[in-house]
Amino acid sequence: MDPWIRTEEDRELVNWAGELASLMAKRAETYDREGTFVHEQIDLLTQAGYASLTVPKEFGGRGCNLRQFLLAQERLAEGDSAAALVMGWHLGITQSLAVTGAWPDDMYRAFCKDAAAGQALINACGSEPDTGSPSRGGRPTTVAKREPGGYSITGQKTWATGSPVITHILVTAAIAGEDRVGEFLVHRDNSGLSVRESWDSMSMRGTGSHTLVLENAFVPDANLLDAMAPGGKSKRGGDGGGWLLHIPATYLGIANAARRFTLDFANAYSPNSLNGPIAAVPHVRDKIGQMEVERMTARTLLFATAMRYDEAPLPDRINMRADLGLAKYAAVNAAVRIVDLAMRIAGGQSILRTLPLERYYRDVRAGLHNPPMDDVTLSILAEEALQGRR
């Protein structure tokens, strides 16, 4: 019994995500080994309608709230976390656009129509070699120059998850001659856009998080969707960023997969020095208990935060930044510890590539480097504590 599955609709959703996860699980190892983009997984998901999960019902989608979105993401990631992360960015941004109304209506409606038909996938590409994580507020070195009727954008965006397939790319660029930083929509078919296949990581190898190269990529005026003065708030940020909880949901999915594998392993593995499986050994039971503590605590905080977020009026969501960061911090660090415990239970075999645990171990660590980073959350919590706000 999952206490966070509240309705029949939730149950159907999670079961469906579970079926998709099972189909993907068979191929996940190959993508990881080869370090290639998870094309077939994304085809499967878009054809199944997964890309419409957070598209509002009025525009042909499933209209999931944050809690439902996270339930599905967590379950999906048990099958293939790389594919889940690609979909997580898309679904999260799609949800935040619905909540904030950050785009002009006609543009959002057209995007939703394509997303519901499995023909559009979006991601925000803000990271750069010289500025690092965009969440730290550095001015992009990618530059947008004014031209008649629009802007010409030149620069590079690293860590562009889903780069082999995303159709709608949100790119931040410093507007030449101004203080402001713009967020531009660049379509995949833009002749000034190319993908440099630079992604060769130890974790989340199938995400295709390559480098996007923009060389005089022209976009019309209408594609400047937002322009922030230094320290200013973006329109997309108007919902407090709850959608970013797709990140901890995805990494908890990896931990769930490690836990499930290890429980089966502990029940089945019976070395001849014992009279039965290692599940009866006290230190193994202790570690299983610790995994449960980590998992239940993290899920409780994650889903309770998501529910509070769903129930909060829009202006109050802005004030949930610390709570959202805390939920991410707790869940991702718990996920890392759960995979570690799972490997200790399985013993030496856990490092063999014949078992999936070493892949989970590599993948789960990537969550530490998705926003918000731990140091940012700790500093916000410290600030609130020192000001007596908690």
Ligand X SMILES: Cc1cc2nc3c(=O)[nH]c(=O)nc-3n(C[C@H](O)[C@H](O)[C@H](O)COP(=O)(O)OP(=O)(O)OC[C@H]3O[C@@H](n4cnc5c(N)ncnc54)[C@H](O)[C@@H]3O)c2cc1C
If one asks whether residue 83 binds ligand X (CB under 6 A), the answer comes out as no
* Listed residue (254, 342, 260, 328) closest to 298, CA to CA: 328
Instruction: Choose the stretch contacting ligand X; rule: CB under 6 A; options: 8-16, 131-139, 227-235, 336-344.
Output: 131-139
If one asks whether residue 94 binds ligand X (CB under 6 A), the answer comes out as no
Helix (H/G/I), strand (E/B), else coil: 49 = coil
Q: Are 286 and 110 in contact (CB under 8 A)?
A: no
If one asks whether residue 156 binds ligand X (CB under 6 A), the answer comes out as no
Task: Give me the phi and psi of 247, to 5 degrees please.
Answer: -65, -60
- Give the length of the chain: 390
The only residue of 41, 54, 100, 127 in contact with ligand X, by rule CB under 6 A: 127
The only residue of 16, 31, 59, 159 in contact with ligand X, by rule CB under 6 A: 159
By rule CB under 6 A, what string of x and - marks binding of each residue 369-388 to ligand X? xxx-x-x-------------
Q: CA dist 312 to 10, 91, 240, 243, Å?
A: 20, 20, 11, 14
By rule CB under 6 A, what string of x and - marks binding of each residue 28-67 to ligand X? ----------------------------------------
Could you tell me the smallest distance in angstroms from the CB atom of residue 34 to ligand X? 17
Residues 6+ apart with CB under 8 A from 172: 124, 125, 126, 134, 140, 142, 181, 182, 183, 184
Rounded CA gap, 361 and 309, in Å?
30
Kindly tell me which of 203 and 305 has the beta carbon lying closer to ligand X: 203
Instruction: Choose the stretch contacting ligand X; rule: CB under 6 A; options: 113-121, 202-210, 213-221, 249-257.
Output: 202-210
Could you tell me the smallest distance in angstroms from the CB atom of residue 106 to ligand X? 26
Could you tell me the smallest distance in angstroms from the CB atom of residue 88 to ligand X? 10
Of residues 331-370, which lie at the interface with ligand X (CB under 6 A)? 366, 369-370
By rule CB under 6 A, what string of x and - marks binding of each residue 274-293 to ligand X? --------------------
Kindly tell me which of 59 and 89 has the beta carbon lying closer to ligand X: 89
DSSP state of 161: T
Q: Are 241 and 321 in contact (CB under 8 A)?
A: yes
If one asks whether residue 209 binds ligand X (CB under 6 A), the answer comes out as yes
Q: Are 158 and 141 in contact (CB under 8 A)?
A: no
Which residue of this chain has its Cβ atom nearest to ligand X in the complex?
A: 132
* Listed residue (88, 366, 36, 81) closest to 199, CA to CA: 36
If one asks whether residue 132 binds ligand X (CB under 6 A), the answer comes out as yes
User: How many Å separate Cα 321 from the centre of its chain?
Assistant: 17
Kindly tell me which of 73 and 370 has the beta carbon lying closer to ligand X: 370
Secondary structure element (H or E) that encloses residue 211, with its range: strand 210-220
Burial of 104 (0-12, 13-18, 19+ CB in 10 A): exposed
Q: Site residues (CB under 6 A) for ligand X?
A: 89, 123-127, 132-134, 136, 159-161, 204, 207, 209, 366, 369-371, 373, 375
